[in-house]
């Protein structure tokens, strides 16, 4: 169960990405990965011009977290 701090971060990520329908996914991410990793990934996604993103910023964020999060960013 996400803490209020984790839920706040998940809502912030969803709002910035205009991806509120994926809030449960973002909550899962903040429960599993460090805030530092998620913020770094969010900044990377936001730095990419919109016309270079195939789907949405939310989809790109999810992809990058899933691809790179397994390395050493788990909170375990």
In a domain? residue 19 = yes
* SS (HEC) of 17-58: CCCHHHHHHHHHHHHHECHHHHHHHHHHHHHCCHHHCCCCHH
In a domain? residue 60 = yes
Q: Determine the structural domain holding residue 11 and report its residue range.
A: 4-68
pTM for the structure as a whole: 0.87
What is residue 64's three-state secondary structure? helix
In a domain? residue 75 = no
User: Which residues, 6+ apart, have CB-to-CB distance to 15 below 8 Å?
Assistant: none
CA-CA-CA-CA torsion for 47, 58, 64, 31, nearest 10 degrees? Answer: 120
The pLDDT tens digits of the residues spanning 5-55 come to: 999 999 999 999 999 999 999 999 999 999 999 999 999 999 999 999 999
* Domain count for the chain: 1
């Amino acid at each position: 169960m996400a803490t209020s701090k984790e839920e706040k971060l998940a809502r912030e990520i969803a709002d910035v990405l205009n991806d509120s329908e994926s809030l449960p996914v973002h909550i899962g991410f903040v429960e599993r990965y460090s805030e530092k990793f998620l913020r770094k990934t969010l900044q990377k996604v936001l730095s990419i011009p919109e016309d270079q993103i195939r789907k949405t910023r939310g989809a790109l964020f999810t992809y990058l977290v899933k691809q790179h999060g397994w390395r050493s960013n788990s909170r375990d």
